[in-house]
Chains A and B, each alone.
Chain A
Amino acid sequence: MNLSLFRPSRTTAPLAALLLLGAASSAPPAAAVPADEEVRIGAVLPVTGKESKIGGAFKQATEFAVKEINDAGGLLVGGKKLKVDLKLLDDTSDAAKSAQLVEQLIAQQRVHAVIGGYGSQLVQAQSVVPERYGIPYVAGGAGATSIYGRSKWVFGTLSPVENLATTQMEFLQDLVAAGKLKKGLRISLVTENTEHGKDFQKGVRDFAKAHPAEFTVVLDESFELYAPDFKPLLTRVQQAKADLFMCDAHLEDFISMQRAYTQMGLYHLMLTYGARGADEAGRKGLGAATDYIFASGWWSDLLPYPQVKAWTAKYKAATGTAPQWYHATAYETARALLAAVTKAGALKPDAIRGALASLDLEDSILPGGKLKFSRSGQALLPFVVTQNKPGGKIDLVWPKAAKTGDPVAPVPRS
C-alpha cells in the first residue's frame, strides 16, 4: 500500500512547530507605547454583514463627531488641544471577531478608550474585554440591561429596552383612557430570542400583569435572530386573534416580518416593532406597508429641543443624510466619551472612567436633554413614541407634551 501521500516527511514536524514559532517572532517583542500626543479612540462596528445598515450609520456619525472636534483644533485635555485619532474597525457583524478586534485595539494599538458596536449580541461579546485591560468603553448601540453592571469600565447610552416597552404600554393605556381603544386588549407578543428581546418581553408582560383589566398577553413567542422565514410564526399570530401586535426585532427582521405580515393580510388595531418602524431603510423597503406602525426610538428629530433642530440641520448639511435615532446615539456616544476625556484632563484610563461615571452632559440631543450614566453604567433616559403616517410623514405622539400630531388608533384597515 502506498502511503507516501499522507505520510509526512521528516522535516514536517519541526516545520510545523517553527511555523508556530514564526508567528510568535513576527510580532514585535514589546510593542512600543505611542506617546500621548493624540487621543486614540478605538471603535469596532458592524460596517459590513447583517448589521451593516445601522453599523454604517454608526460609523458615519462617529466619524462626524470626531471630525467636528478635530476641525475645531482638537480635544482639550489638561489645558492642551490634542487631535483625536479614531481607529475604527469593522467586525463584519461577527461577535467573535468583534471581541478580538477590541482586544487588538487595546493591546496593540494602545487606544485610550473604546466606542462599542451596534447590536446587543455584538456588544455582549465586546463588553468582556474592557474589564480585562481596564480601559473605558462606551457603547451606543446596545440597550440590553444584562450588558451593564458587570464591569465598572462599561457604559452605554441606550436606555433599557424594558423601559422602551413600558413606554409603549403607557402610550397604549393612554389610548384606552382616551376612548380610542377599548379595555381588555389582547396582545400577540413576539420577540427575538436575544437579551434585547427578553427585556422587551419583560416590559410588556409586567405591565400587562399590573393592568389585567386593560391588557392580556394571549400569544408570547420568540424567534431566532435573522430568521429566514416568518410565515409560520405569523400564522400563529393570525390564529391568536389578538387586538395588538407587539414585536421586538432588529431592522433586517422587521423588514422581512412586516413584508410577510402585509402579504398575509394580517390586521391589528395597533402594531409595533419596538424601536423599528420609523427607520428610513424600513420605510424605503416597505413603503406604505409601514404606515401607522408606532415605534419607540432612543431619539427623534421631532424632539422639541433647539439643540435637536440645530444638530439635525448640521448633520444633514455635512453628510447629506437625514439622521435617524442610531445616528444621534452614535454621535452622542462619541461626544460623551470625548467630553469625559476633557473632564478627566488626562489620558489615564482611571481618570476617564471616573469622568464618565460622573458625567452630566448638558444640551444633549437625546430625550431628556441631559446625558448621564446610572450606577450600572447604562443611561436612563425617557423614550418617545412616534407613529408613521401616510405619505412618509412621521409624528411624535408621546409624550403628549411634545406631540407633533395625534395618534391614529385604531389603525384603519387597508
Chain B
Amino acid sequence: MRLSFLSDLNAERAARRAVVLVTDIASGEQRLVLEAKIGSDPLAEDLQDRLRQGKSGLIERGDRQYFLTIQTPPVRVIVIGAVHISQALAPMAQGLDFDITIIDPRTAFATPARFPDVPVLTEWPDAVLPTLGIDRYTALAVLTHDPKIDDPALAIALRSDCFYIGALGSRKTHERRVQRLTALGFTDTDMKRIQAPIGLDIGAVSPAEIAVSILAEIVAALRKERRRPA
C-alpha cells in the first residue's frame, strides 16, 4: 500500500468521511476511492452496496478478485448533560473507540476538571448540534432530565438519521416528554426511535452501571444486524 493511501485513509476518517480502498488481489494494484467519487468508479455499485453495509470483503468481477476495505467514519456518541453518569460514560466510550462529545450549557457542570480529555461544549444543544453534522454513525443520549436542554436536542436528533437516540428518565417523565414532542409535531414513529428509559435493562443502579447499560444499548443498535433473534 502506498503511504499516501494510508495517510489519506487516516485523514478521511478524521474528517468523518467514508472511503473505500480497492485492492486487486492478483496484481496487488490498489486505488483509494473517496466517498464523493464512488459514483464514478468502475465498481460503483459494489462499493455503494458494501458501504451501506459497512462491511469490508472480497468480490469477484470478471476474472478478477478485489478486496474492498470499507472505512466508515468512527462512531460518535453525543451526550447532552455533563452529569455524573456522563463522567462515568465518557472514558468507557473512549475505550470502545467511540468519539465522545459532551454538551451542557450549564457552566457549573461542563468543566474540564470534571471531564479530563473529553471534548465538552458549554453550549445550548440547539445552537451547537447543527454545527456537528449528525450523521448515521452518530448516537445521541440526553441525560439532563431538564426539558429546556433535552427537548431541543431530541428534536434535532429526530430530524437526523442518527442510529441511536436515548433519553434518561422514568416512564412518567418520558410520557410527558412524548406529549411535549408530539405537540411539536413529531409522530408515533418518531417516538419509537427514542429509547426510554435509556439503557438495556440490567438493573443498573450506580452511574457507572447506568453508563454500561447505555453503551451496551448503543452497541446493540450499532450491531443490530449481527444480533441473534430473541
A is bound by B: no
Binding site for A on B (CB under 8 A): none
Binding site for B on A (CB under 8 A): none
